[in-house]
Amino acid sequence: MADLTDKTALVTGASRGIGRAIAERLAADGALVAVHYANNDAAAKDTVAAIERAGGSAFAVRAELAAATGVDDLFAGLADGLGGRPLDILVNNAAIITYESTIDQTTPEQFERQFAINVRAPFFIIQRALSLIPDGGRIINISSGVTWFATPQIVYSMTKGALNVLGRSLANTLGSRGITVNTVSPGVTDTDMNSWLHETDDAIPSITAMTALDRVGQGADIADAVAFFAADDGRWVTGQTLEVNGGLYLGPKAQAW
C-alpha cells in the first residue's frame, strides 16, 4: 500500500465498477475520497459506507455531468466535503457507452451525450480543479483499450482517444508545477458497463483466450495502477498512457505454424 495519509482525492463515477474500486483503494491508502456519482444514491451511499467500514474516509458528491450545471454542482459538493482543504488527486473516471452508437446507428443526441460526459466534463473538471490542486498534485484519466483496437462503438472510442491526447498535452503544460498527468487504459474489465460478459456462456472464455494472463480484468487491477500514479512512487512518470489489460491481443498463445 502507498501512503496517502492527509491527501484528498476526487474520483468521478465512483459509485460502481472501476470508479468504486479506485475510490476504495485510495481510501485504503489513507486519502479522504470524494465519491462522485450521477444519480444512484444507494450505490454512492454503499460505496462510502464500505470505505468507512474498512477504516477509510469518504463523502458522496452528486452531479449529472452531462447537465449544463454539472461541473458547478460537482465543485459545490466537493467544496463542502473538503472544508477548505486542497485537492491532491483527481481521477477522471466517469464515462458512458451507448452500444448502438455505431457509424450507421448513432444519433446526434447519443453522440453529444457521450462527448459531454466522457470528454467535455473531464476537461472542465480539470480546468476548475487546477486552482485547488497544489504543486506536486496528481491527475489521472481513465481511458480504454478501444483507442488502439477496433470496435463498432466508434463514438465511445473517439471519446477515449481524446483523453489520451488530453493527458499528453496537459502533462507538458503542468510540468512546471510538478503536477503529473497520466492515463490508465483498462482492457476488458468485469463491470456493469461490460455486463455482456455474463449474457452468454462463451463471452468470458472468448476474452480469456485472447488475454495472456488467462482471465478478465477486475476493478482492483485498474485501481492498483491508479494508486501507483497517485502516490509518491509515481512522481517521475507523467504524460504516459499505461495499458492495464493482462496482455490483451498480444498475439496467438500457441504457434500457428
The helix/strand/coil state of 80 is: helix
The helix/strand/coil state of 104 is: coil
Q: Helical H runs in 83-201?
A: 108-115, 121-129, 154-174
List the beta bridge partners of residue 92. Answer: 141
In a 13 Å sphere around the CA of 119, the CA atoms on its Cβ side amount to: 18
User: Is 99 in the active site?
Assistant: no
**Whole-angstrom Cα distance, residue 46 to residue 54?**
12
Q: Which residues of 99-128 are buried (b: 16+ CB within 10 A; e: fewer)?
A: eebeeeebeeebbebbbbbbbbbbebbbeb
The helix/strand/coil state of 4 is: coil
DSSP letters for 177-235: GT-EEEEEEE-SB-SGGGGGGGTSTTHHHHHHHTBTTSS-B-HHHHHHHHHHHHSGGGT
Task: Name the active-site residue from 37, 99, 156, 249.
Answer: 156
Mind telling me the catalytic residues? 156
